[in-house]
Chains A and B, each alone.
Chain A
Amino acid sequence: MGEMHQILLKIGPAAFRIESAWRQPLDQLADLYQNYPEPTGESVDFTVRLEPEKPWRRYIRPSVHIDSDFWLPDAAPLPLTQGLLAAEIGMNLQMALGWRRHLLIHASSVEKDGKALIMAGLSGSGKSTLSAMLAERGWRFMGDEFALLSLNSGEITAFPRLISLKNKAIEAMQNIVPPSRFGPEMEATPKGDIRHLVPPKQAIARMDETAKPALLLFPRFGHAPELRDMGQAEIFVRLTQASTNYVALGEAGFHTLTRFVDQIPTKAMDYQSVEQAEELIESLWSQLP
Chain B
Amino acid sequence: MIQKYRAAPKDDLIWHGLDSMMLLFHRPSGIAHILADPAPAIMEVMEDAPLAAAEIASRLTVLFDVEAGADLEDIIFARLEELSALGLLTRVSG
Contacts and interface: CB of A to CB of B under 8 A. Distances in A.
B19 interface: yes
Interface stretch (A1-9, A88-96, A115-123, A231-239): A231-239
Interface in A225-266: 231-233, 236-237, 240, 247, 250-251, 254, 258, 261
A233 B34 contact: yes
Interface string B20-47: 1101010100101010000000000000
A236 B25 contact: no
A261 B34 CA distance: 14
Nearest to B32: A254
Interface size class of B (residues with CB under 8 A): 10 to 19
B78 interface: no
B8 to A, nearest CB: 15
Given A236-B34, A237-B34, A240-B32, A251 B19 contact: no
Interface in B66-87: none
A237 B32 CA distance: 10
B27 A251 contact: yes
B27 to A, nearest CB: 7
A233 B25 CA distance: 14
B57 to A, nearest CB: 27
A247 B25 CA distance: 12
A213 B59 CA distance: 43
B34 A254 contact: no
Nearest to A262: B16
A247 B23 CA distance: 15
A250 B30 CA distance: 6
Interface in A252-284: 254, 258, 261
**Which 7 residue pairs spanning A and B have beta carbons closest together?**
A232-B18, A232-B19, A233-B21, A233-B18, A254-B25, A258-B16, A250-B30
Interface of A: 231-233, 236-237, 240, 247, 250-251, 254, 258, 261
Given A240-B32, A254-B14, 13 more contacts: A231-B18, A231-B19, A231-B20, A232-B19, A232-B21, A233-B18, A233-B21, A233-B23, A236-B23, A236-B34, A237-B34, A251-B14, A251-B27
Interface of B: 14, 16, 18-21, 23, 25, 27, 30, 32, 34
